[in-house]
Amino acid sequence: MIFYHPKAQRDLQDFGIKIPLLSLRIEQVRLHLLQKFGPPCLTELTQTDQTLGREDLARVHTPEYVEKLFLSRTGLEQALLECYECLRPDGGPTVRYDPSQAKTSLLELFQDLLAEGYGTYKAIEHVLQKKAQKPDSFAWSFFLGGGMHHARPNGPGGFCLFHDIVVGLARVKETQRLSSAWVIDVDAHMGDGTAFFSKIFPWLKSLSIHMENGWPLGVPDQDGARPHIIPSTLDIPVSYQDSRKYLALLRAGLEQFKRQEILPDVAVVVLGADPFLGDVLQSTRHLQLTKAEMLARDQFLFNFFKELQIPVAYVMGGGYGPHIAPIYEQFLDFALLS
């Protein structure tokens, strides 16, 4: 089942934020699916109550941060500007923010993000329900959005206002049997927010394969250590020189992860398209995978979970510029025809 929420489809430029996260990547994939497979393959979340609320974020984020987002207009605006790296240390705007170009209020962006987070929750809920109904079947879902893997319990980071994946998992835990979950992150950037949450919640384990340098931000100590980085349960840093070994490193890492961790009730995959060489965000240049390598990555992950009969929900994660949609289209074609 593939989920789509119209509020997940936005151009950040409409809010005066100069980051090339385009609505085009979602709209192109949606139209591709409708043309190739027809409306039954897509579930649209269009009801006004299909959104997250304060109580959802409060399950995983600190009370102070949740209050800042929901009860303080000034606090919310500050958090959003910090989230998208629009503020300098002195409080002035960075080159990424030009409010004179904004067509829409930042406050509306918050409502869009809450609705997008609901899509992540529905994708997780769906695969667990399908697995409960048919224990011997393989359940998977895909949400056209989501993957805010840099947000931490007490604040935003890396274009992520709150952690939709952990929020969704925690909400599901309220109503369904869920004792363990994996987050498998193949975005170009380390899932540092997920790593933080995996230290708080014993039921959450995280694997992140990502470019060796470039994220999280911060200058290493003189000995090369980076103590500000909280490690994932398993990290697989990939150097630019080792890009051609990416799939082999992922295979070995997942096999190690499978051996050392109890198999989960559900997995969430952050299927970032930003390792693709066609991605335009400057900070993704440390990985340059071809379109064929991206498909091989995604096919391997799908078959890995299918073989183990682990229900898996996919979210999009990062993917910047006008050339991203085909990466998701080729994977969804494969998954729907499998």
pLDDT for 229 equals 80
Helix, strand, coil % (nearest 5) of the chain? Answer: 45, 15, 40
Q: Give yes or no for a contact between 205 and 182, defined as CB atoms under 8 angstroms apart.
A: yes
Pairing relation of β-strands 2-4 and 42-44? parallel
Confidence of residue 215 (pLDDT cuts 50, 70, 90): low
Pairing relation of β-strands 234-238 and 204-211? parallel
pLDDT tens, position by position, 39-81: 999 999 988 889 999 999 999 999 999 999 999 999 999 999 9
Q: How many CA atoms lie within 13 A of 68 on its CB side?
A: 18
Q: Give yes or no for a contact between 81 and 159, defined as CB atoms under 8 angstroms apart.
A: no
Confidence of residue 90 (pLDDT cuts 50, 70, 90): confident
Structure-token pair, residue 288:
């340059």
pLDDT for 227 equals 45
Q: How far apart are CA 328 and CA 60, in angstroms?
A: 29
Domains of the chain: 3-337 (3.40.800.20)
Confidence of residue 226 (pLDDT cuts 50, 70, 90): very low
Single pTM value for the model: 0.95
91 DSSP assignment: S
**Over 70: is that where the pLDDT of 230 sits?**
yes
